[in-house]
């Protein structure tokens, strides 16, 4: 894809600048992983006390796919769902974002996964999640059901560690997809450490192996500490020397992209290592602290596809995360490409004054608060 070619920022076909006719774009990103029907509580409280729930969709990889498609990219979601009403809902809802769902398999013998969650922050002890995904259709994904040749027809293949935890077959598929081989697409991997999904203590070791096989890795500083006992971006980069880019997320402080060799010391500021770029996150008036990690990955991948500088890729990640944080569910409407570009290109002082609240993605630049 020529990043300078004209594009409809809301996902329509590109128009040739020479002929004025619609051009058939190849898929830019394939996102592989389970999506589930999510039941959101009608009010805060324990699951035992919540009287009703609203139905929505959830899944790390499909969240990334939806955000990228909403930002104008050609994206395919690959997965399996049951031959049931919940499967119908997932395919229709994700497809409505402009995501290609033609590669989603339907399993007549296994159900679509569902889960219920509380409204509290995932990082608190009060947060509850009840998964009903054991034996789901997606857990039957394997190298046999998804041949490697069918997953390489894009510039980027986006995966997450959640898939590896679903079953032995899913792990075999993930190991195959992260095997380094000639001609493969750029493999993007979000660690997404979920201790409750692993049936034994192998999760951290498996996630480290998969991350080392990827080209681009997203990992939170907190989850690297929990999974691997690593503290600080420099230590994380040292443990992941193989990927071309390692993005370490520092929560509300910002994120660092490491592209150079592992640093000689874990001391010093985030951007002290060779090839490291730190971008602080803007201040956000948070409505619901969910979906930000997936949205950040989508924003950074969008900048990668457009070959933007590292700082701007990180800033686009922060902006996409802010779009998710300022709505109740996992998926927010991203700003237009032009709007996001204008914000990402602000000087450091103006970027530091940004404050983003509900509705900011549809505001003109002058309406975005800077104090």
Show which residues are catalytic: 294
Contacts of 234 (CB under 8 A, 6+ apart): 262, 263, 265, 266, 267, 268, 272, 273
Whether the Cβ atoms of residue 110 and residue 136 lie closer than 8 Å to each other = yes
Beta bridge partners of 258: 246, 276
Judged by DSSP in three states, 84 sits in: coil
> What does the alpha-carbon distance between residue 362 and residue 110 come to, in Å, rounded to a whole number?
41
Please name the helix (run of DSSP H) or strand (run of DSSP E) that holds residue 283, with its range, or none: strand 283-284
Distance of CA 193 to the CA centre of its chain: 13
> What does the alpha-carbon distance between residue 94 and residue 146 come to, in Å, rounded to a whole number?
20
> What does the alpha-carbon distance between residue 141 and residue 134 come to, in Å, rounded to a whole number?
13
Please name the helix (run of DSSP H) or strand (run of DSSP E) that holds residue 107, with its range, or none: strand 105-107
> What does the alpha-carbon distance between residue 115 and residue 84 come to, in Å, rounded to a whole number?
16
> What does the alpha-carbon distance between residue 230 and residue 222 come to, in Å, rounded to a whole number?
9
Residue 357: how many CB atoms within 10 A of its CB? 16
Whether the Cβ atoms of residue 213 and residue 180 lie closer than 8 Å to each other = yes
Judged by DSSP in three states, 4 sits in: coil
Take residue 245 and report the two structure tokens written for it.
Answer: 């880019």
Surface-to-core class of residue 12, CB atoms within 10 Å of its CB (0-12 exposed, 13-18 middle, 19+ buried): exposed
């Amino acid at each position: 894809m020529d990043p300078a070619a004209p594009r409809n920022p809301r996902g329509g076909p590109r128009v040739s600048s020479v002929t004025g006719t619609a051009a058939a774009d190849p898929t830019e990103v394939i996102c592989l992983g389970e999506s589930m029907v999510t039941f959101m509580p009608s009010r805060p409280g324990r699951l035992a006390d919540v009287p009703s729930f609203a139905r929505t969709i959830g899944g790390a990889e499909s969240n990334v796919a939806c955000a990228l498609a909403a930002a104008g990219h050609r994206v395919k979601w690959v997965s399996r769902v049951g031959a049931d009403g919940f499967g119908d809902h997932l395919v229709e809802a994700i497809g409505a974002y402009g995501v290609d769902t033609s590669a989603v398999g339907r399993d007549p013998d296994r159900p679509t996964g569902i889960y219920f969650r509380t409204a509290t922050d995932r990082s608190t002890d009060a947060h509850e999640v009840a998964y009903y995904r054991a034996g789901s259709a997606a857990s039957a994904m394997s190298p046999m059901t998804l041949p490697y040749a069918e997953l390489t027809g894009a510039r980027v293949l986006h995966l997450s560690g959640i898939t590896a935890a679903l079953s032995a077959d899913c792990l075999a598929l993930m190991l195959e997809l992260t095997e380094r081989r000639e001609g493969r697409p750029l493999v993007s991997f979000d660690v997404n450490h979920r201790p409750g999904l692993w049936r034994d203590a192998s999760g951290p070791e498996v996630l480290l192996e998969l991350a080392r096989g990827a080209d681009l890795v997203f990992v939170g500083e907190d989850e690297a500490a929990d999974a691997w006992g690593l503290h600080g971006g420099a230590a994380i980069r040292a443990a992941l020397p193989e990927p071309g880019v390692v993005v370490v997320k520092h929560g509300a402080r910002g994120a660092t992209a490491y592209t150079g060799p592992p640093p000689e010391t874990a001391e010093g500021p985030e951007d002290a290592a060779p090839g490291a770029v730190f971008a602080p996150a803007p201040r956000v008036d948070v409505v619901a602290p969910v979906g930000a990690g997936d949205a950040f990955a989508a924003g950074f991948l969008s900048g990668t596809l457009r070959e933007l500088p590292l700082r701007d890729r990180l800033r686009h990640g922060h902006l996409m995360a802010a779009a998710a944080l300022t709505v109740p569910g996992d998926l927010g409407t991203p700003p237009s490409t032009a709007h996001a570009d204008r914000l990402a290109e602000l000087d450091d002082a103006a970027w530091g004054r940004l404050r983003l609240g509900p509705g900011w993605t549809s505001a003109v630049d002058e309406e975005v608060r800077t104090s």
